[in-house]
Amino acid sequence: MEFFDVVGARHSRRDFRPDPVPRETIEKVLAAAGAVPSSANEQPWTFYVATGASRLDLGRIIAQSTVHLSEYMEVLGPKRYEDAVHWYSSLGDAPVLIAITVPAPDDDFTALNRYLSVGAALENLLLAATAEGLGACNITFSYWVKDEMAEFMGLAPEASIVTIVALGWPSDVSPATPQKRDDVAIWLD
């Protein structure tokens, strides 16, 4: 696929086939994620890949967050709330979960640089997954179960989870394609 075709084809997929993703394919996607520049070449990200039994265990921990989704009921509305409960309960049956972590920053400047670097790595990961024919969804991971997730992952206390990516072969369910803004730039000349 050409670059702009990949960008146009990239959507958040929330429904996956159960077929396993070959380790070589996951490694290729992660290599693309790790190839991005980062502030002071810190490369602050670490990718925790859960497949098989570890994917099921991590998924069960994340699914516990559904009890906290009621806090968003007023914001989401009843239909989107039901969708959110369904999504967090199954994560679309994605066979792969990738948690991205960073060392906890000591100050705002370091935090900004680390999170921007991870954002660039995340986007490369999502685009590489699309180029490989995979579907992916960046999950605003469940903050409420972060301690359980960190313990399960063996995460050091000085590290924090930034996001979780559900990854797999997309099902036949078409992804939502929300309208994109076309007024994204303000020209200053």
Is the Cα dihedral 57, 58, 59, 61 positive or negative? Answer: positive
Specify if 5 maps to a domain. Answer: no
User: Is residue 175 domain-resident?
Assistant: no
The pLDDT assigned to 170 comes to 95
108: CATH:
3.40.109.10
144 occurs within a structural domain: yes
Identify whether the C-beta of residue 146 lies closer than 8 Å to the C-beta of residue 120. no
Domain-embedded: residue 61: yes
pLDDT score at 75? 64
Domain containing residue 126: 17-168
Task: Report yes or no on 140 lying in a domain.
Answer: yes
Residue 189 lies in a domain: no
Surface-to-core class of residue 109, CB atoms within 10 Å of its CB (0-12 exposed, 13-18 middle, 19+ buried): exposed
pLDDT greater than 70 at residue 76:
no
Strand partners, 16: 170
pTM of the model as a whole: 0.90
DSSP code of 171?
Answer: -
In angstroms, rounded to a whole number, what is the distance separating the alpha carbons of residues 110 and 43?
12
Q: How many domains does the chain have?
A: 1
Residue 187 domain-assigned (yes or no): no
Angle among Cα 58, 59, 61 to the nearest 5 degrees reads 65
pLDDT tens profile 97-119: 999 999 999 999 999 999 999 99
